[in-house]
Amino acid sequence: MNNALNISSSPHVRDKRTTAYMMRVVLLALMPATVVGVCNYGLHALLVVLVSVAAAVLSEFAFDKLCHKPDTWKDGSAAVTGLLLALCLSPRVPLTMPLLGSMFAILIAKCCFGGLGKNFINPALAGRCFLLISFGNMMSSYRVVDGVTAATPVADLLVGNPVNVTRMFLGTTSGVIGSSALALLAGGLALWALQIIHGEICFSVLGTFILTIGLFGGQGFDPRFILAHISGGGVLMAAFFMATDYVTSPATPLGQLVYGLLIGSLGGIFRLFSGTADSFSYCVITGNLFVPLIDTYIVSKPYAYRKVSLLKQLRASGEPWYKRVPRPVIVLTAIAAIAGLALSGVYFMTKDTIDNQKRAAQAASYKAVCPLADHFEANETIDKAVADLNGAVYGTDFGRAHINEGFAALDEGGNNVGYALSVTSADGFDGNVTLAVGVDNEGAVTGISFTELNETPGMGMRVDEAEFKDQFVGKAVSKFTLNKAGGSTADDEIDSVSGASTTSGAVVNAVNAALDFYNNTVKGGA
């Protein structure tokens, strides 16, 4: 077949740079962040990157073969999608997650909509959001360089904990593989200098985000505060590599500016008021959904065309404004509104029931750890101490333990027989570990009971077995020590669950925090 004549619809853009060339440049721009991430987090991070890229390329290759389409995987766009997804993942996720995420990104978000140039949202972000929804606990489980489980610096920043801005900027703290702000900034600026990405998008995203954080963040435009927010939470990755995707961003400079302002402002609002550090993915996807509307009303001025205001155009057409809105936009907006109202209605209808069930479960857990108690009453000393903590991490020797609440345990005659304390450790392998700890008036542990435990079945979940929990009961010590080797004989030693030392350590830290709180606040303030 003679391919000399190529007929296609407008607009026609001529450029010596091919798609494959630009994808190769983007891959090179991502290499600094990839190298820093692999050096910091080790071999498993490299495996996550390789699996993600391979799964993306092979998924597109298989789709092309099955559907008898040209080999589009050769243009490098699938490799870029796989690498972007990998850099947005924790270095400790199972390898099945980048595999599933890349397959979803390529097959569902890209190929099912017609392939490159026809997807309506960024495929890498679609894959990441799919994993966030499906595997929330594992997606939020991070590890710092020295092997200790920890929250991301942005999560600490949101609760008022101090962060090391220098380490955040270099990418040597806990977080995703591509967390080096310096490497991402270098790669992003290189793309902008080579005119691969549009400055209207990336700089409007960053500028609006900074403005929102400065105005509503509570610390003004303090440079360290602003830099800490920019260096974490995927801001630079979104601004330079995600939002600037040609397919899912507006076509005109003004439209790109509006698009960037939307994403940046949403990013700042979500960061400050949603309580979620990892929210920029949703901001970019929201911006992607507005692109058809932006391109409908913000178009380039044709040559020799006298510009007329949008208001005059609407009046001259004789049609009401709502008839000029594209039907897909109306349908999607209606679906989103109906879904939102339905979810809100279900939430408000079930809120009281859910709260009652939570209170009942909490009361049951307190009864389980204080078997001599008939009922529980609020304690002024405990309430004041918990309020003073204001959700901050308790102490410096108990990992990321938080004291949630506490009550005095009373028998039938109203006599105090101990206290029940609720403690959360954020150092669990698969998320938070929340437990009730009972302490009698002599400072001995009367029991522990879990109210939140999302660990791996057969491993971390074994901390909820009596064999592990009973080690604490009846022991009046100031602090327990985790014994990973087993065979403990001392009262202050707790044998770790085999294969679940991280979860065991989180439980020990939570109990130690409860004992320290009792000895220094409850008993000391009585």
Walk me through the domains of the chain, giving residue ranges and CATH numbers: 19-301 (1.10.3430), 359-525 (no CATH)
pLDDT at 118: 81
Residue segments in the chain with a per-residue pLDDT below the cut of 50: 1, 143-150
pLDDT at 25: 93
Strands 431-439 and 416-428: antiparallel
287: how many CB neighbours lie within 10 A of its CB? 29
Inter-residue contact 329 to 291 (CB < 8 Å): no
pLDDT at 314: 55
- Report how far Cα 398 is from the mean position of its chain's Cα atoms: 24
| Per-residue tokens: 420 | 């029940």
β-bridge partners, 407 = 378, 420
User: Exposure of 77 by Cβ count < 10 A (0-12 exposed, 13-18 middle, 19+ buried)?
Assistant: buried
Inter-residue contact 173 to 167 (CB < 8 Å): yes
Inter-residue contact 436 to 422 (CB < 8 Å): yes
pTM over 0.85: no
pLDDT at 116: 78
* Average pLDDT score, the chain: 82
Each residue of 68-89: pLDDT tens digit? 888 888 888 999 999 999 999 9
Tell me the one-letter amino acid at 446: T
Each residue of 281-297: pLDDT tens digit? 888 988 888 888 888 88
pLDDT at 336: 59
